[in-house]
Structure 1
Amino acid sequence: MSSLKWDGYVHSIFDRTVNLQCRTNDELYTIANRQMDNAPNTLITDMGSFSDRGLVVGDRVYAEHDRLYVGKALVLTLRDVRVWRSKLPSYADDEGVLRSNAAAAASFIEIHGKAGGMKRSAETVNSIDQEMERLLRERSTGLLEALSKGEVSFATHYAIQLIGLGPGLTPSGDDFLVGLFTVMNLTDGPLFQIRHVCEQVVAAAADRSNPISYMALKKAASGQARESIGGFMHHMIHGSKTEVISGLSRVLDIGSTSGTDIALGLVNGLKLSIERNGR
């Protein structure tokens, strides 16, 4: 984003973030406040709220002389910006630690995760919500079973059927895939050799989900994850249970149900990896 040739416009405005559409590569970029963690295509600032700064969707955004101009309401200095890059750990050398941590994480999600997306709600009475939960469960189960058997075409089919499914700005099915795609990109992992499934799914995703969710899927498909997710994965593979729960808590805090949906994708992906390696 620090390139002086950057040019685009304001795509969407939220309290803690502003999303920018780049005209050059058609990707979304995000300006965020300090409550957010580092992530692909994201610039963290010391700003408070963005929703009351007079920004308007469609405002031009451009860089010039080490400054980023966001409409007429916001100017950011880029001179001292530090580049952050996503880095995932390699797959576990000791699956005993990973197996134990995966069990602890699954139990924590069951107790503390937010229901209503991938996690089933015990209080759902609305027939539409019940059907949504059924579809999420059916398609995610089909996806995991297909990956377990190495049936790439079936896995791709089920994954595409998850896109855009569920509540939230980033739908639950998309968030689950973000977590699963992250695991599939762990170097030396049992799913690494079939990670091309991720790219195939993303190719079909643009017309099935919104631009914000699509960008998260696109980045996860190439192993680019936000800092809290990368930290959690590191703890799952190398850390203690205390570190795992601490890292998991940060992931669960993402969005409304998004954190839980992502975490379930991560944990189920790791469990599947352990299962495939045991054959």
Structure 2
Amino acid sequence: MNRRLGAIQAAPAVWQWLAVTRQARLLYLFDHAINLVNEYGDVLSVVTPKIGAGPFHVVVNGFVAGDLSPIEGDESPATNIGVQVQPDGMQIGKLWVDVRGAAVWPPRVNWERLRAHTAPTTAGSGQAVWHSHLPHLQRIVQQHRMELGLDTTVWQPPLQTGLDLLLTGIAQGDTVVIQSGTAQLAGLGPGLTPAGDDVLMGVMLGLWATKAEATIRPLAEVMVATAVPRTTTLSAAGLRAAGRGEAGWLWHELSNRLSVTDNRWEETVAQILATGHSSGADALLGFLSVIRGW
């Protein structure tokens, strides 16, 4: 018997994906996420509220393994589960996901609001009020990375080398150097979203938080074009989204709280740090590396 799940909310990319997709397959299964990919390599993720809204997410109340059986493993490709797509939803195994009643969730962070949150200086220029939080934020991230032993991993030296090269290229506006730094980071480390990719995502979000869109777009386009062929399908989807200034709901919340000097920003940082094994910590490392140089 099929089980119907009504979607709570979905990003605009979800309806675009449903409209153009003729063939789709299950990419990966997790306890709280079902990742699909279509014939164009575009990803759609059906997620529970524990993961929440994202640039290519459909949020549903929940699902159980029996709806999707057989499952080969928590992170195994599941090519033996059928997927059928219609404009108003999708059939995944025994599960029907109906998007007709879903609220539209805008994936782009309000970076303009964050950048505008400034305090005038005597020179007439502005410095972001939230910059006063940076030393504390950096200590929180460093402490978390130390507790996880992230800075002692075998891929940490090339990660730092690639990040330094990328930041140099951005500062100099040198496309060749940006490509070189990005190439060193892309796909670096284990997992479906490797550490190097998470750092790249954080760098792009840091650029959106500090620079005008006209400056960011050409930089992000170079980074995305360089990184995508070098990494996993799932990670590539996240990098493309970051290049457009899009991010998951926690980054929206962090931006909103920093914009109004809401002291609860520490709670949001803790939630980001808890994302994946090290994904959140690596993304914040990239984000802070850009913010510090602003």
2:28–2:35 Cα contact (<8 Å) kept: yes
Equivalent residue for 1:196, pick from 212, 218, 224: 218
Deviation, structure 1 residue 201 = 2.2
Number of equivalences = 260
Q: What does the per-residue CA deviation read over 1:213-272, in whole Å, with 9 as the maximum and x for residues that have no partner?
A: 1111111111111111122133334323x3221111121111100010011112222222
How much is the aligned-residue C-alpha RMSD, in angstroms? 2.5
Give the secondary structure class of the aligned counterpart of 2:37. Answer: strand
For 1:97, the equivalent position in structure 2 comes to: 129
Counterpart residue identity of residue 270, structure 1: I
Q: What does the per-residue CA deviation read over 1:11-45, in whole Å, with 9 as the maximum and x for residues that have no partner?
A: 2212211111123x430100111211200111111
Give the secondary structure class of the aligned counterpart of 1:21. Answer: strand
Distance across 1 between alignment mates of 2:29 and 2:274? 20
The answer to which of 3-12 and 224-233 deviates more is 3-12
Deviation, structure 1 residue 164 = 0.7
Determine if the alignment matches structure 1 residue 262 to structure 2 residue 283.
yes
For 1:27, the equivalent position in structure 2 comes to: 42
For 1:62, the equivalent position in structure 2 comes to: 84
Counterpart residue identity of residue 151, structure 2: R
Equivalent residue for 2:30, pick from 7, 11, 14: 14
2:25–2:36 Cα contact (<8 Å) kept: yes
Are residues 64 and 172 of structure 1, via their aligned partners in 2, closer, same or farther at CA, if it must alter by over 3 Å? closer
Equivalent residue for 1:211, pick from 216, 233, 243: 233
Give the secondary structure class of the aligned counterpart of 1:30. Answer: strand
Determine if the alignment matches structure 1 residue 180 to structure 2 residue 203.
yes
Distance across 2 between alignment mates of 1:224 and 1:212? 15
2:67–2:95 Cα contact (<8 Å) kept: no
Distance across 1 between alignment mates of 2:222 and 2:164? 19
Deviation, structure 1 residue 51 = 7.6
Would you tell me which structure has more strand in proportion to its own residues?
2
TM-score normalised per structure 1: 0.83
Distance across 2 between alignment mates of 1:5 and 1:158? 34
Equivalent residue for 1:53, pick from 63, 68, 73: 68
Counterpart residue identity of residue 169, structure 2: A
For 1:157, the equivalent position in structure 2 comes to: 180
Are residues 26 and 248 of structure 1, via their aligned partners in 2, closer, same or farther at CA, if it must alter by over 3 Å? same
Equivalent residue for 1:146, pick from 169, 172, 185: 169
Q: What does the per-residue CA deviation read over 1:102-133, in whole Å, with 9 as the maximum and x for residues that have no partner?
A: 2221111112346668x413xxxxxxx44x21
Deviation, structure 1 residue 65 = 7.5
Determine if the alignment matches structure 1 residue 81 to structure 2 residue 81.
no
1:13–1:51 Cα contact (<8 Å) kept: no
Deviation, structure 1 residue 159 = 1.5
Gaps of 5+ in 2: 1-13, 72-77, 119-126
For 1:38, the equivalent position in structure 2 comes to: 53
Give the secondary structure class of the aligned counterpart of 2:223. Answer: helix
2:45–2:58 Cα contact (<8 Å) kept: yes
Give the secondary structure class of the aligned counterpart of 1:120. Answer: helix
Give the secondary structure class of the aligned counterpart of 2:229. Answer: coil
For 1:247, the equivalent position in structure 2 comes to: 268
Gaps of 5+ in 1: 122-128, 275-279
1:180–1:269 Cα contact (<8 Å) kept: yes
The answer to which of 76-85 and 250-259 deviates more is 76-85
